[in-house]
């Protein structure tokens, strides 16, 4: 019999096939046995009739327990009532491994802690399956968009001697005795390394070779934030481009997000249905996105009753309120320099502000992208580093980029889990990553 994935059985209508997967549900009338099988590619029902199968097959069916792994033999037929349009007439069944009794995840509602404790099993549930497939589509859309727009994948390091986004969020670790007792050494004599918060600074070195580059990998933030938007380990995509300034930087971001939404809608209709995601708000995500400056955002928030100060950063609640005013993403541009990172270039028209943007996703999802034009002048950048009390020595290589053929350049980074949560319509980003790391969770 032809081995097949469930997702491909439409090619074998009327033929006998062999499937391999897990029994996620079953029921029996004593004469007819309905087996629900999933193999990762899709789900399908196999209907066995006691009169038509061998005694071995029937007793194997009767011995089944939830989540046992099995090999199924059957004939494919079209069935308009089946969710996929297909069903199998069961001919045989082999048990590969019988599951232990009482699969922990039942049909009743479990609390989030129970599900997270059983994350290794919860991942098999249909919604979790759908989330991972949407996540995969976002990753693919990102790679395709960048490769079609002349960006090269550039892998930045995870072990670093310095911070990128601010020292309060750094995970610190011992790094042999590197630099110990050597005050001149790169990491100034501490024997410490830090887990990367973003590959951006290294990507800036990469584009001086490749012109346009992006990275994609895990980053780490020791933030004590216990919110539905924060993980301590998450996946970031950073992009960077030489000769690109603030406005073009936002055009690249807009193109990327449109591409992601398009590909998710084109390839994940079934997954979105499983997730009960209303696709109308996603269909509304079209260029041009909304633009407003930080100052305009503050004015709008005050209009809506907030008492936020002129030079305050936007909090999660402020972002939520703003995104509820529009049906598409919002670029918030030109934040006060005081609330942003040292590397952002000042706005020449108003140097208290920087040439940056956050992108806020609609429906209350809030910040999904942070980006900016970078300071490209050696002396100015040095000055900023002093203002931020950064040790100069570990950043000398970064300053060097401004010494040898500096060019205007810009970039941005997105949080994969935040975009996945938005696409899937999830309330909390912990479900978007296979094994979430939170301030109070490191297992399984
Ligand atoms: O805004 P952030 O901190 O920007 C940077 O790290 C820049 N160096 C990126 C760049 O310009 N190349 O982080 C970028 C994005 C945020 O917009 C958000 O989507 C996500 O990363 N993010 C988080 N996602 C989950 N958990 C956290 N703790 C996150 N912190 C940031
Ligand atoms: Mg940010």
Is residue 438 included in any domain, yes or no? no
Residue 139 is part of a domain; what is its CATH number? Answer: 3.30.930.10
d(CA 374, CA 80): 57
Q: Which residue has the tokens 């479900």?
A: 431
Tell whether ligand 1 has an atom less than 6 A from the beta carbon of residue 57: no
Least distant ligand from the CA of 429: 1
Q: Which atom of ligand 1 is nearest to the CA of 223?
A: 28
Tell whether ligand 1 has an atom less than 6 A from the beta carbon of residue 422: no
**Confidence class for position 107, pLDDT limits 50, 70, 90:** confident
277-289 pLDDT, tens per residue? Answer: 999 999 999 999 9
Tokens of 223: 């933030």
Per-residue pLDDT, 374: 98
One domain for residues 127 and 90 = no
Percent of the chain clearing pLDDT 90 (strictly above)? 89
**Confidence class for position 179, pLDDT limits 50, 70, 90:** low
**Cβ pair 358, 370 in contact under 8 A:** yes
Tell whether ligand 1 has an atom less than 6 A from the beta carbon of residue 413: yes
One domain for residues 230 and 340 = yes
Q: Does the bond joining 444 to the residue before it have cis omega, within 30 degrees of 0? A: yes
406-424 pLDDT, tens per residue? Answer: 999 999 999 999 999 999 9
- Final residue before a domain boundary, out of 97, 130, 164: 97
One domain for residues 88 and 142 = no
Least distant ligand from the CA of 359: 1
Per-residue pLDDT, 163: 81
Residue 19 is part of a domain; what is its CATH number? Answer: 2.40.50.140
Helix (H) or strand (E) holding 301: helix 294-303
Is residue 285 included in any domain, yes or no? yes
What is the arithmetic mean of pLDDT over 134-150? 98
Per-residue pLDDT, 133: 98
Give the distance (Å) from ligand 2 centre to CA of residue 409.
18
Tell whether ligand 1 has an atom less than 6 A from the beta carbon of residue 319: no
Domain count within the chain: 2
What is the arithmetic mean of pLDDT over 328-353? 97
One domain for residues 317 and 282 = yes
Give the distance (Å) from ligand 2 centre to CA of residue 397.
24
Q: Which atom of ligand 1 is nearest to the CA of 412?
A: 11
Mean per-residue pLDDT over the chain, rounded: 95
Helix (H) or strand (E) holding 218: strand 212-220
- State the Cα torsion 60-64-70-73 to the nearest 10°: 50
CB count within 10 Å of CB 363 equals 15
Give the distance (Å) from ligand 1 centre to CA of residue 214.
14
Residue 183 in this model has a pLDDT that exceeds 80: no
One domain for residues 53 and 186 = no
One domain for residues 130 and 218 = yes
367-380 pLDDT, tens per residue? Answer: 999 999 999 999 99
One domain for residues 242 and 354 = yes
Residue 184 in this model has a pLDDT that exceeds 50: no
Residue 225 in this model has a pLDDT that exceeds 80: yes
Tell whether ligand 1 has an atom less than 6 A from the beta carbon of residue 332: no
Tell whether ligand 1 has an atom less than 6 A from the beta carbon of residue 206: no
Per-residue pLDDT, 223: 85
One domain for residues 287 and 383 = yes
One domain for residues 124 and 92 = no
Per-residue pLDDT, 191: 81
Tell whether ligand 1 has an atom less than 6 A from the beta carbon of residue 87: no
Cβ contacts of 333 within 8 Å, gap of 6 or more: 246, 250, 291, 292, 293, 294, 355, 356, 357
One domain for residues 169 and 72 = no
Q: Which atom of ligand 1 is nearest to the CA of 200?
A: 12
Q: Which atom of ligand 1 is nearest to the CA of 372?
A: 11
What is the arithmetic mean of pLDDT over 166-181? 80
Residue 25 in this model has a pLDDT that exceeds 60: yes
Tell whether ligand 1 has an atom less than 6 A from the beta carbon of residue 4: no
Q: Determine which residue's CA is closest to atom 22 belonging to ligand 1.
A: 415
Task: Among 146, 236, 431, say which to mutate for ligand 1: greatest number of ligand atoms within 8 Å of CB.
Answer: 236
26-66 pLDDT, tens per residue? Answer: 999 999 999 999 999 999 999 999 999 999 999 999 999 99
Give the distance (Å) from ligand 2 centre to CA of residue 412.
10
Least distant ligand from the CA of 240: 1
Tell whether ligand 1 has an atom less than 6 A from the beta carbon of residue 416: no
One domain for residues 273 and 366 = yes
Domain span including residue 84: 2-97
Give this prediction's pTM.
0.96
- Final residue before a domain boundary, out of 65, 97, 129: 97
Give the distance (Å) from ligand 2 centre to CA of residue 368.
8
One domain for residues 303 and 257 = yes
Is residue 442 included in any domain, yes or no? no
């Amino acid at each position: 019999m032809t081995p097949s994935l469930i997702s491909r059985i439409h090619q074998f209508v009327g033929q006998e096939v062999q499937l391999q997967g897990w029994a996620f549900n079953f029921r029996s009338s004593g004469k007819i046995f309905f087996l629900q099988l999933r193999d990762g590619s899709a789900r399908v029902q196999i209907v066995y009739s006691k009169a038509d199968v061998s005694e071995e097959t029937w007793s194997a069916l009767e011995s089944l327990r939830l989540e046992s792994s099995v090999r199924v033999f059957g004939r494919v037929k079209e069935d308009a009532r089946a969710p996929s349009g297909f069903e199998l007439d069961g001919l045989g069944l082999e048990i590969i491994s019988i599951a232990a009794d009482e699969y922990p995840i039942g049909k009743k509602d479990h609390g989030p802690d129970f599900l997270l404790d059983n994350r290794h099993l919860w991942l098999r549930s249909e919604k979790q399956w759908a989330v991972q497939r949407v996540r995969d589509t976002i990753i693919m859309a990102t790679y395709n968009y960048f490769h079609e727009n002349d960006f090269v994948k550039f892998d930045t390091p995870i072990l670093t001697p310095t911070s990128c986004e601010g020292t309060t969020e750094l995970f610190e670790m011992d790094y042999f005795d590197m630099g110990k007792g050597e005050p001149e050494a790169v990491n100034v004599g501490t024997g410490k390394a830090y887990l990367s918060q973003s590959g951006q600074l290294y990507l800036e070195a990469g584009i001086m070779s490749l012109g346009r580059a992006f990275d994609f990998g895990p980053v780490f933030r020791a933030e004590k934030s216990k919110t539905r938007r924060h993980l301590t380990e998450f996946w970031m995509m950073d992009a960077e481009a030489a000769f690109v300034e603030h406005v073009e930087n936002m055009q690249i971001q807009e193109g990327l997000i449109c591409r992601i939404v398009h590909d998710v809608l084109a390839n994940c209709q079934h997954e979105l249905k499983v997730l009960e995601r209303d696709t109308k708000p996603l269909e509304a995500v079209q260029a041009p996105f909304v633009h407003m400056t930080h100052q305009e955002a503050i004015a709008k928030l005050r209009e809506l009753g907030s008492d936020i100060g002129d030079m305050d950063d936007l909090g999660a609640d402020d972002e939520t309120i703003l995104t509820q005013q529009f049906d598409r993403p919002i670029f918030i541009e030109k934040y006060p320099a005081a609330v942003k990172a040292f590397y952002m270039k000042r706005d020449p028209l108003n140097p208290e502000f920087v040439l940056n943007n956050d992108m806020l996703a609609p429906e209350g999802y809030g910040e999904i992208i942070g980006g900016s034009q970078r300071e490209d002048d050696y002396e100015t950048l040095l000055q900023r580093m002093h203002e931020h009390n950064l040790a100069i020595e570990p950043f000398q290589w970064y300053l060097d980029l401004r010494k040898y053929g500096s060019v205007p350049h810009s970039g941005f980074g997105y949080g994969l889990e935040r975009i996945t949560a938005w696409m899937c319509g999830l309330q909390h980003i912990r479900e978007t990553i296979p094994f979430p790391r939170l301030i109070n969770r490191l297992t399984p």
